[in-house]
Amino acid sequence: MDAHDFLEALTIVLCTAGLTTVVFQRLRQPVVLGYMLAGLIVGPHVPVPLIADRAVVHTLSELGVILLMFSLGLEFSLRKLLKVGAAAMLTAFIQCSVMVWLGYVAGRAFGWTSREAIFTGAIVAISSTTIIAKAFEEQRIQGRLRDLVVGVLIVEDLIAVLLMATLTALATGEGVSAVTVAKSSGRLGAFLIVLISLGLVVVPRTIRAILRLDRAETTLVATIGICFAFALAALELGYSVALGAFLAGSLVAESGEEKAIERLVQPVRDMFAAIFFVSVGMMIDPELLAQHWKAVVALTALVIVGKVVSVSVGAFLTGNGTRTSVQTGMSLAQIGEFSFIIAALGLSLGATGTFLYPIAISVSALTTLTTPWLIRWSGPTASWVDRKLPRSIQTFATLYATWVEELGAVKRSDASQAELRHLVKLLLVDATLLGLIVIATAATADADTALLVRHLGLEDTLAFVVVIAAATLLATPFCVGLFRISANLGRTLAAMALPPSEAGRLDLAEAPRRALVVTLQVAILVVVGAPMLAITQPFLPGFEGAALMVAILMALGLAFWRSAANLQGHVRAGAQMIVEALAAQARAGARPASDHTLERVRALVPGLGLLDTFTLAPTSPVVGQTLASLDLRGRTGATVLGITRGEEGVTLPTAHERLRAGDVLAIAGTHEAVAAARALLGVGDLDAGAP
């Protein structure tokens, strides 16, 4: 490649991308789609006499990935990553496990080999950090949603590294063992610890020293140099440049000067990010789409539906509320750069046919096209989902987020932490042994059947039934153990969030605690069961494991439904007490939040979350609206427990209740939800009027 080829490719790409982005801006469409159209135009697959060198564009696109991830790291410091760490980790774990399983099932349904199906599962499991980063920037997505999505993406990238190590061992015949996975995990952990530890000591001090020179040019060059150095270090050790660049940005953000650096880096980042999306468009081959259209359409639908559902469920179970959970799921419904890498790995190792790589590219291109629209419609969709839920589930969804918030704020004693660790260890032991029994039975069933036929003279069918019965008998204690330990773990955690009353006294928190126990048990079984399904499915001829998991979750779902209905009565009693107390204050001429009324109600009816009151001024923008048109719960996650109008009150108002000036609204939710509700109602921030 000489200088002329490089200049020619860069000119073609930037001029075409400049034209398409202007057109898409005028049409008020996402510019990412314009970049991809430019890639289709300058690519080799359409009859347009304007072709850019793919190798040059690919090289430049790598710079776009690095700079985009670096900028993302600037906005997402290590402190933020730790803040959403548990929720992001569990959500990513559930999503990746479910998608690996679904991808494997889809691959086998198309008649592909077991190895090709396993690689398919890995390809559809990892979302695209680069695509989401650009879409979020265009649509100015901020706050909790952005933090959670980025946290999930970072965990997914780490999972992708482990998946590639595992798939390499599988494809080369080394076999997948606990030792192999442990070595890969330990190596990755050591890399992160060393890089972050050294970076925290060196990078923030270096950035502050450079900024004291007060030279924008020096700051830009030095900062991008640090970014590329971390990306190169990650690449040399076998990890992605995206991971290294993100860590560099996070470490630079620890200097406290991330805003100034972001302004300097943004123009360079935008140019190379545009080239990245042009390179994605260049990989769209209409002929391959036509040749493998069934697989492309099926996997595209699988990615969108599977990720929306699995991420939404995972995010909700970790306490993020209906709105944030649905928005997170719709934001992550695509595959990207890691999918290319995994598909290329399978091809280079001879584990997959040549068809899988272009299918992966096509699915990535189509889901890239749908991502901006899904993100744009995620808010209205979340509100629609919330409106369609039964009233008892709506109430539960709001309160569950508050319970998880309280659980995270509880200071655990050494004894309680030791008990939690003990239960988690028992849970992992039972899950591991159950998985080993399933795999061993599947691997040796034919040999064991032949052995019984030869030595006991049994018929083939009867011998096989005996083998399966023996395996079932052996596995039953571990299945029961998983169910029992998950229930104990749920009860232990629920007691921390909603402590029981002293012996001999009425347990006022029984109803919400029962609902929390069932939900936590469901969450624990999903976290444990999803990876078990993904791991054991390749060894099973059918879907017995999935059927058993669904049956257990359906039984727990019935228990959850009953506990949610009981919770509705508990909440109604609390709402009635609040309305009566506020009405009594109005009769006495006191301000609605002049004393500790809400704290007393919360003590008598625990489990209602953070309570607050809002007095609607005549100038409030929501006066005259119904609760349905306001959609307070769908837009903020907070729920209206009651409304007081002078000496009258409305307990758990319906969606058709119209708000009036002077209404006092009693609202429950997490701190974030109540703050958002206060902003929506136009009465200031959370601290301004909290009781």
The DSSP line for 604-631 is HS----EEEEEEPPTT-TTTT-BHHHHT
% of the chain surpassing 90 pLDDT:
8
How would residue 588 be classed by pLDDT, with cut points 50, 70 and 90? Answer: low
pLDDT at 303: 94
The Cα-based distances of 44 to 54, 76, 286, 437 in angstroms read 9, 38, 11, 51
What pTM was computed for the model? 0.79
Across 151-155, 314-318, 418-422, 684-688, least confident range:
684-688
Q: Quick one: CA torsion of 603, 608, 612, 613, rounded to 10 degrees?
A: -100
Three-state secondary structure call for residue 152: helix
Question: Does the pLDDT value for residue 91 go beyond 70?
Answer: yes
% of the chain surpassing 70 pLDDT:
90
Quick one: the chain helix, strand, coil %, rounded to 5? Answer: 75, 5, 20
Share the mean pLDDT of the chain.
81
Question: Does the pLDDT value for residue 185 go beyond 80?
Answer: no
pLDDT at 175: 53
- Domain extent listing, the chain: 3-388, 406-551, 573-689
Higher pLDDT, 111 or 688: 111
Question: Does the pLDDT value for residue 28 go beyond 60?
Answer: yes
How would residue 595 be classed by pLDDT, with cut points 50, 70 and 90? Answer: very low
Higher pLDDT, 79 or 304: 304
pLDDT at 597: 67
Residue 639 host element (H or E): strand 639-645
How would residue 386 be classed by pLDDT, with cut points 50, 70 and 90? Answer: confident
pLDDT at 301: 94
pLDDT at 133: 78
What is the secondary structure of 333-371 as a DSSP string? Answer: ----HHHHHHHHHHHHTTSS-TTHHHHHHHHHHHHHHHH
Mean pLDDT value across residues 30-54: 78
pLDDT at 79: 67
Mean pLDDT value across residues 519-546: 81
Mean pLDDT value across residues 148-154: 86
Question: Does the pLDDT value for residue 610 go beyond 50?
Answer: yes
Across 201-205, 214-218, 339-343, least confident range:
339-343
Question: Does the pLDDT value for residue 334 go beyond 70?
Answer: yes
Cα–Cα distance for residue pair 182/176, rounded to 1 Å: 11
Question: Does the pLDDT value for residue 520 go beyond 60?
Answer: yes
How would residue 298 be classed by pLDDT, with cut points 50, 70 and 90? Answer: very high
Cα–Cα distance for residue pair 474/43, rounded to 1 Å: 58
Question: Does the pLDDT value for residue 594 go beyond 50?
Answer: no
Q: pLDDT tens digits, residue range 153-175?
A: 888 877 887 787 777 767 766 55
Tell me the CATH number for domain 3-388.
1.20.1530.20
pLDDT at 326: 92
Question: Does the pLDDT value for residue 507 go beyond 80?
Answer: no
Mean pLDDT value across residues 269-275: 82
Mean pLDDT value across residues 470-491: 89
Cα–Cα distance for residue pair 154/152, rounded to 1 Å: 6
Cα–Cα distance for residue pair 159/513, rounded to 1 Å: 34
pLDDT at 88: 86
Cα–Cα distance for residue pair 254/401, rounded to 1 Å: 30
**Spatial CB neighbours of 137, under 8 Å, sequence gap ≥ 6:** none
Question: Does the pLDDT value for residue 52 go beyond 60?
Answer: yes
Q: Which of 566, 462, 468 is nearest to 511 (CA)?
A: 566
pLDDT at 283: 73
The fourth-level CATH superfamily of domain 573-689 is Regulator of K+ conductance, C-terminal domain (3.30.70.1450)
Question: Does the pLDDT value for residue 26 go beyond 90?
Answer: no
Mean pLDDT value across residues 20-39: 81
The one-letter amino acid at 52: A
Question: Does the pLDDT value for residue 412 go beyond 80?
Answer: no
Residue 649 host element (H or E): strand 648-651
Question: Does the pLDDT value for residue 147 go beyond 90?
Answer: no
